[in-house]
Amino acid sequence: MTHITQAIKEQHKDRSSFLLYYVRLMFPKLLKIDRVHSHVFALFFFVFQFFCASSLFFLSPILLAAPEPVSIQLKWQHSFQFAGYYAAIEKGFYRDAGLDVTLKEIDFSKDNVQQVIAGESEYGVSDSTLLIYHLKGEPVVLLNQFFQHSPLVFLSHRDSGIISPYEMVGKSVAFNNNNLGDAALNTLLVNSLGDLSKINQIDYDESYFQQFIDGKIDVIFAYSTNEPYLLEQQGVDVNIINPQSYGVDYYGDNFFTSQKELNSHPERVKKMMQATVKGWQYALDHPDEIIQLIRHKYNPSLSEDHLQYAVRTTEQMIVPKLIELGSVDPKRYQRTALEYQRLRLTETSQVKNNFFYKSAGQNGILPNLTKKEKAWIKAHPQISVGGSPDRAPFNFADEKGQYRGLPMTI
């Protein structure tokens, strides 16, 4: 035992000498330090080494854990329309949440919503068209609503005489028919013309824009945040036919996922939502930085002037100073569903609670009720409501005699 004790003392002596030498080498001002204090330095380094080793032991699973790879299916090509997602990637908001996010541009041969439903991507960007999928029974979940208005418009040549939907009869019209059509544009045409058979609908692809410039297509769909600027730069004067001018004001771009993703990865969904909102907030607060990011990394073909135009018009769609970023009013979607049913775009107008993302404590489209109100509803499961049968969309009876209208959304 004596020999062992002496050996330990010698080991500590040698280590103390080495540490003293190391400290003197690294810190010249301490050259006059005496050997008595070397043991203090040795103790300090022993504690420091133990702390580092312990930290690595406990934190290594976190530090070494690879971020979860997920992808977002965009509904168009790279532009400021997706600024919030770029910001969330480049500023590390996704990475800080343990997520490795990839963005996928539109594939013109595929339905971008169905790509998410099929699992090709875990998340996607859509608009009010997403509601049609839900009403048709598809398992989609709306997470965040970013565009409070839809930027979808129709464009025609200034000298064509096509200044409203009514002049589109018999004309060639190119717009998205791969994902049940663009909701706002579909509604505008059906409201005005009765159905889509009165137009010559063109399947659009990457060449449709140039075909319009060349006069081969009479009318094209466009985003008010993008194409009008491009055409102006090329000296092409256009008429803008905006659905909002005809009483069609639907939600624009939203962020969604599949029911499968929500069921399998509820925490990941929550992190994606939070990081995406942070990304959009950053993008709106630092537009010039995001413009440079888009030009250098995502779409070098876009000019700075073009992106500045997109910033101004995108803010008009998001309305960030009036409406909480990423928030949604379920009643507005319910009113849209009534329009879809009336126009026979869907067979039902019943928007189920599972269309909307809800965390613990939330009740989908139902308001927060007091105990007294809940007790009254429980005691009165059936409520009689009176109304006119032919005042759509306010009060009306559908083909099956069921009462429909705005009061049903309350």
Identify the pLDDT of residue 351.
Answer: 95
Strand order across the beta sheet in which 238-241 lies = 200-202, 172-174, 219-223, 152-157, 238-241
Q: Where do the DSSP E strands lie in 50-204?
A: 68-73, 99-104, 123-126, 140-145, 152-157, 172-174, 200-202
Q: Using CA atoms, how far apart are residues 157 and 236, in angstroms rounded to an integer?
A: 7
Domain 152-246 class in CATH: alpha beta
Q: What is the DSSP letter of 294?
A: I
Tokens of 89: 């990637």
pLDDT at 292: 98
171 neighbors 218 (Cβ within 8 angstroms) = yes
* Predicted pLDDT of residue 231: 95
Token pair 């909307």: residue: 356
Q: What is the pLDDT of residue 205?
A: 75
346/136 Cα distance (integer angstroms): 7
Q: What is the CATH number of domain 69-149+251-318?
A: 3.40.190.10
CA distance 266 to 259: 10
DSSP-based three-state secondary structure for 194: coil
DSSP state, 67? P
- For residue 395, the model assigns a pLDDT of 64
Chunked in runs of 10, what are the mean pLDDT values of the chain (410 residues)? 45 45 46 48 48 49 73 96 98 98 94 96 96 96 96 95 96 74 83 90 83 94 92 95 93 97 97 98 98 97 96 95 94 93 89 84 47 75 68 62 58
Alpha-carbon distances, residue 32 vs 12, 13, 15, 44 (angstroms)? 21, 19, 19, 19
- pLDDT for position 4: 43
| Residue 135: alpha-carbon gap to chain centroid | 20
Nearest to 44 by CA among 56, 30, 58: 30
Quote the pTM value: 0.71
Domain with CATH 3.40.190.10 in the chain: 69-149+251-318, 152-246
